[in-house]
A and B are shown apart, each in its own frame.
Chain A
C-alpha cells in the first residue's frame, strides 16, 4: 500500500488514517451496493415476467393490447414489447439488467480506484472493462 501516492499530501500518519477510513470502506460498500441493487431489480423484473407468462403467455400483453410481433432480442422488439407489457420483453430486460450488473460493478471499482489514485488497478479495471465490452461486440 505504501508504494501508492496518497490522494492529498498529508503527513504519513494522517494519510494512513484517511486511507484506512475512506478508501477501502467506500470501495467495498459501493461495490456491494451495485451488486445487491442490480440483482434485486433484475429479480423483480423476472418475477413479473414469469407470473405474466403463466397468466397471458410469453407473447401476450399484461394490459390486453395486441402482442408485439418483433422478437424481443432486438432493441426495437424489446421496446415494443415493453410498451405493451409483454412478459417475454420484461423477462429479457431482467436478463439484460443481470448481465449489466457485473459490468457496472467493474465500472464502480474503476471509479473508486481512480479516486484512490491507484494507477495499477485503474489500468487493471480498464482492461477487464475492455474485455467485457469487446465480448458484447464480438457476435454481431
Chain B
C-alpha cells in the first residue's frame, strides 16, 4: 500500500457499500471483487477486510430491526448455533483450499444473490400453516407488527431441522468467503422455515454480525486482516451502506432495485471467469 491508497480504498468501498445496499445484497460480496480487481489485493487479505466490514454494516440495520420488533431473537440465537459452527469450519477450510475455488464460489454466490433479488419481490403474508412441534418446543413461534398492514401478524415456524442445516451451509460460506450470506439465510428462514419475508430479512441481518465474528477471529489470527486495508475498507463500506439506505428510502418501487441486479450479475460472471480461467491455465 502506497500512501494515499487509503483514500482510494475508502472511496471504492463507499461505492461498493452504496451499490450493495441498493441491490439488497450487502457490502461484503462487492468489496472482495473491488479489492481484487481494482487494487490487486490478494484474495485472502480481501476476505479478511470484508469479514470485519460486514460486522459494521449488519449491526446498524440489525439494531433498528430489533427495535422495530421485526427480528425474532429466539430464532436468531438458535440458528446462530449452526451459522457460527459453519463459519469456524469455513474459516479453517479457507486456509487449505485453492484461491481459484474461492473466486468460483464467490461468483456462484453473487449470481445466486442476484437471483434472490427477483425472488424477494413477492412479499406476501406468511401461509396459514400450523407450527411444527419442534418450533413450539423451542419457543420460536411469534408475531411482528406490519407497518404497511397496520396490525400485528402472527406466524408459525416449520421445518426447523432443514432451516438449521441450511444455516450451517450459510455459515460455512460466510467463514470461507468473508461474506454475510444474507441471501442464503433469508432462503433458509423464508423458504424452509416459512417465516415472513420481513422477519427473515431482519433476523438474517441480526445473525450476520455474530456469524462473521466467529470466523473473524480465525482470519485475524492468521494475519489476513491487515489494518491498512481493513480499516479504510470497513469505514468505506459502513459509510456506503448508510448512504445507500438513505437513497433506498426514496426508491419506493421495489422494481427500481432490479436496475442494479445486472451489475451484480456482471461482477459474478467476472469472479466465475477468474476461478475457471486459473483452472484452465493449470491444464
Contact surface of A with B, Cβ cutoff 8 Å: 1, 3-4, 24, 27-29, 31-33, 35-36, 38-39, 42-43, 46-47, 49-50, 53-54, 57-58, 72-73, 88, 91-92, 94-95, 98-103, 105-106, 109, 118, 120-121, 124-125, 127-128, 131-132, 134-136, 138-140
Tell me, in angstroms, the Cα distance from A39 to B227 when the chains sit together: 17
Contacts of B87 in A (CB 8 A): 135
Contacts of A54 in B (CB 8 A): 3-4, 6-7
CB distance from B273 to the nearest CB of A (A): 32
Contacts of B234 in A (CB 8 A): 42, 46, 94-95, 98
Whether the Cβ atoms of A120 and B139 lie closer than 8 Å is yes
Decide if B223 is an interface residue (CB 8 Å cutoff): yes
Closest to A112 in B: B73
- One of B69, B73, B88 near A135 (C-beta < 8 A): B88
Whether the Cβ atoms of A95 and B63 lie closer than 8 Å is no
Whether the Cβ atoms of A131 and B84 lie closer than 8 Å is yes
Tell me, in angstroms, the Cα distance from A105 to B210 when the chains sit together: 8
Contacts of B85 in A (CB 8 A): 131
Which of B59, B92, B238 has the most A CB atoms < 10 Å from its CB? B59
Tell me, in angstroms, the Cα distance from A91 to B66 when the chains sit together: 28
A sample of 15 cross-chain residue pairs with beta-carbon separation below 8 angstroms, ordered by A number, consists of A1-B139, A28-B67, A29-B67, A31-B66, A35-B63, A50-B232, A91-B230, A91-B231, A94-B234, A99-B220, A128-B80, A131-B214, A134-B88, A135-B87, A140-B221
Whether A103 touches B213, Cβ cut-off 8 Å, given contacts A46-B235, A132-B84, is yes
Which positions 225-246 of chain B face chain A at CB distance < 8 Å? 225, 227-228, 230-232, 234-235, 238
Tell me, in angstroms, the Cα distance from A121 to B60 when the chains sit together: 24
Interface range, B side: 35 or more
Decide if B154 is an interface residue (CB 8 Å cutoff): no
Closest to B216 in A: A99
Closest to B211 in A: A102
Whether the Cβ atoms of B78 and A124 lie closer than 8 Å is yes
- One of A4, A31, A50, A99 near B213 (C-beta < 8 A): A99
Which of B55, B91, B225 has the most A CB atoms < 10 Å from its CB? B55
Tell me, in angstroms, the Cα distance from A85 to B215 when the chains sit together: 28
Whether A102 touches B7, Cβ cut-off 8 Å, given contacts A49-B231, A125-B77, A131-B81, is no
Whether A35 touches B139, Cβ cut-off 8 Å, given contacts A42-B56, A47-B235, A53-B228, is no
Closest 6 CB pairs of A and B: A139-B221, A91-B231, A102-B209, A102-B213, A32-B63, A35-B63
Tell me, in angstroms, the Cα distance from A36 to B66 when the chains sit together: 11
CB distance from A67 to the nearest CB of B (A): 14
Closest to A51 in B: B6
Contacts of A98 in B (CB 8 A): 52, 55-56, 234
CB distance from A78 to the nearest CB of B (A): 10
Whether the Cβ atoms of B60 and A92 lie closer than 8 Å is no
Whether the Cβ atoms of B66 and A32 lie closer than 8 Å is yes
Closest to B238 in A: A43
Q: Mark B47-90, 1 if CB is under 8 A from A, else 0.
A: 00000100110011011101101010110011011001101100
Whether the Cβ atoms of A95 and B66 lie closer than 8 Å is no
Which of A3, A29, A120 has the most B CB atoms < 10 Å from its CB? A120
Contacts of A43 in B (CB 8 A): 56, 235, 238
Contacts of B139 in A (CB 8 A): 1, 3-4, 118, 120-121
Closest to A110 in B: B77
